[in-house]
Amino acid sequence: MATAGFICKFCSKWFKTKRGLGVHKQSQHLAEYENEIEVPKAKTRWTHEELDIMAMHEAQLISQGKTTEINTELLPLFPSRTREAIKGQQRLQKYKDLIAEYTVSNPMFASLTDPTVACFFEEDP
Ligand SMILES: [Zn+2]
Protein backbone atom coordinates (compact mmCIF):
# COMPACT_ATOMS: atom_id res chain seq x y z
CA MET A 1 0.00 0.00 0.00
CA ALA A 2 1.55 3.29 -1.06
CA THR A 3 1.94 5.87 1.63
CA ALA A 4 3.29 8.59 -0.62
CA GLY A 5 1.69 11.93 -0.15
CA PHE A 6 2.21 15.32 1.33
CA ILE A 7 1.98 16.23 4.98
CA CYS A 8 1.12 19.74 6.09
CA LYS A 9 3.98 20.78 8.32
CA PHE A 10 1.76 23.20 10.19
CA CYS A 11 -1.05 20.86 11.23
CA SER A 12 0.16 17.39 10.05
CA LYS A 13 -2.84 16.85 7.81
CA TRP A 14 -2.17 14.45 4.95
CA PHE A 15 -2.75 15.24 1.28
CA LYS A 16 -2.61 13.00 -1.75
CA THR A 17 -1.27 15.71 -4.01
CA LYS A 18 1.12 18.59 -3.65
CA ARG A 19 -1.50 20.80 -5.20
CA GLY A 20 -3.99 19.79 -2.54
CA LEU A 21 -1.49 20.64 0.15
CA GLY A 22 -0.80 24.00 -1.48
CA VAL A 23 -4.48 24.88 -1.58
CA HIS A 24 -4.82 23.79 2.06
CA LYS A 25 -1.89 25.92 3.19
CA GLN A 26 -3.20 28.95 1.35
CA SER A 27 -6.61 28.63 2.93
CA GLN A 28 -5.66 27.43 6.42
CA HIS A 29 -2.19 28.82 7.05
CA LEU A 30 -1.98 31.85 4.79
CA ALA A 31 0.41 33.86 6.96
CA GLU A 32 2.86 30.99 7.37
CA TYR A 33 2.50 30.09 3.70
CA GLU A 34 3.46 33.60 2.61
CA ASN A 35 6.39 33.63 5.01
CA GLU A 36 7.66 30.49 3.33
CA ILE A 37 7.65 32.12 -0.08
CA GLU A 38 9.34 35.40 0.75
CA VAL A 39 10.15 37.70 3.59
CA PRO A 40 7.90 40.70 3.17
CA LYS A 41 9.69 44.03 2.88
CA ALA A 42 7.73 45.28 5.84
CA LYS A 43 9.59 42.82 8.06
CA THR A 44 12.92 44.49 7.40
CA ARG A 45 14.25 46.21 10.48
CA TRP A 46 13.83 49.94 10.68
CA THR A 47 17.05 51.86 11.04
CA HIS A 48 17.50 54.53 13.67
CA GLU A 49 17.74 57.11 10.89
CA GLU A 50 14.44 56.06 9.37
CA LEU A 51 12.69 56.29 12.71
CA ASP A 52 14.28 59.69 13.33
CA ILE A 53 13.07 61.04 10.01
CA MET A 54 9.59 59.63 10.49
CA ALA A 55 9.30 60.93 14.06
CA MET A 56 10.54 64.35 13.02
CA HIS A 57 8.02 64.60 10.22
CA GLU A 58 5.21 63.35 12.40
CA ALA A 59 6.06 65.84 15.15
CA GLN A 60 6.06 68.55 12.51
CA LEU A 61 2.68 67.47 11.14
CA ILE A 62 1.22 67.33 14.63
CA SER A 63 2.46 70.83 15.37
CA GLN A 64 0.79 71.98 12.15
CA GLY A 65 -2.46 70.45 13.28
CA LYS A 66 -2.43 67.76 10.57
CA THR A 67 -3.24 64.85 12.81
CA THR A 68 -5.66 62.95 10.58
CA GLU A 69 -3.55 62.19 7.52
CA ILE A 70 -0.18 61.61 9.13
CA ASN A 71 0.34 58.20 7.55
CA THR A 72 -0.58 59.48 4.11
CA GLU A 73 2.10 62.13 4.51
CA LEU A 74 4.68 59.71 5.89
CA LEU A 75 4.17 56.91 3.37
CA PRO A 76 5.94 58.63 0.42
CA LEU A 77 9.03 59.12 2.60
CA PHE A 78 9.51 55.37 2.82
CA PRO A 79 8.82 53.76 -0.58
CA SER A 80 9.86 50.33 0.67
CA ARG A 81 7.55 50.44 3.68
CA THR A 82 3.87 49.66 3.86
CA ARG A 83 1.26 51.68 5.69
CA GLU A 84 0.94 48.75 8.11
CA ALA A 85 4.67 48.83 8.80
CA ILE A 86 4.48 52.52 9.62
CA LYS A 87 1.54 51.91 11.93
CA GLY A 88 3.52 49.15 13.61
CA GLN A 89 6.37 51.52 14.41
CA GLN A 90 3.96 54.16 15.67
CA ARG A 91 2.73 51.73 18.30
CA LEU A 92 6.21 51.32 19.78
CA GLN A 93 7.12 53.23 22.92
CA LYS A 94 10.54 53.96 21.45
CA TYR A 95 8.88 55.81 18.60
CA LYS A 96 6.47 57.67 20.89
CA ASP A 97 9.45 58.85 22.89
CA LEU A 98 11.05 60.19 19.72
CA ILE A 99 7.88 62.09 18.84
CA ALA A 100 7.76 63.60 22.30
CA GLU A 101 11.41 64.55 22.02
CA TYR A 102 10.95 66.34 18.70
CA THR A 103 7.72 67.97 19.78
CA VAL A 104 9.21 69.37 22.97
CA SER A 105 12.71 70.28 21.85
CA ASN A 106 11.70 71.83 18.55
CA PRO A 107 8.82 74.23 19.10
CA MET A 108 9.95 76.01 15.93
CA PHE A 109 8.28 73.26 13.92
CA ALA A 110 5.06 75.12 14.53
CA SER A 111 6.16 77.69 11.96
CA LEU A 112 8.06 75.35 9.63
CA THR A 113 6.22 74.52 6.43
CA ASP A 114 9.18 73.40 4.32
CA PRO A 115 8.72 69.69 3.54
CA THR A 116 12.36 69.33 2.48
CA VAL A 117 13.46 69.63 6.08
CA ALA A 118 14.32 65.90 5.98
CA CYS A 119 17.35 66.76 3.85
CA PHE A 120 19.19 67.60 7.04
CA PHE A 121 19.31 63.89 7.69
CA GLU A 122 20.72 62.82 4.36
CA GLU A 123 24.25 62.59 5.63
CA ASP A 124 26.31 59.42 5.48
CA PRO A 125 25.48 56.82 8.11
ZN1 LIG B 1 -2.38 22.41 7.70
What distance in angstroms lies between residue 84's CA and the mean position of ligand 1's atoms? 27
Q: Is residue 62 part of a domain?
A: yes
* pLDDT tens digits for range 53-72: 999 999 999 888 888 889 99
Q: Is residue 94 part of a domain?
A: yes
What distance in angstroms lies between residue 113's CA and the mean position of ligand 1's atoms? 53
- Which residue type, as a one-letter code, is found at position 35? N
pTM: 0.51
Ion ligand 1: residue ranges with CB closer than 5 A: 8, 10-11, 13, 28
Q: Is residue 32 part of a domain?
A: yes
Domain count, the chain: 2
Residue 27 sits in the same domain as residue 73: no
Q: Is residue 43 part of a domain?
A: no
The predicted structure's pLDDT at residue 111:
46
Q: Which domain holds residue 91?
A: 48-105
What distance in angstroms lies between residue 7's CA and the mean position of ligand 1's atoms? 8
Better-predicted residue by pLDDT, 11 or 64: 11
Backbone φ and ψ of 14, nearest 5°:
-100, 140
What distance in angstroms lies between residue 23's CA and the mean position of ligand 1's atoms? 10
Residue 13 sits in the same domain as residue 57: no
Q: Is residue 57 part of a domain?
A: yes
Average pLDDT over residues 80-92: 92
* pLDDT tens digits for range 12-27: 999 999 999 999 999 9
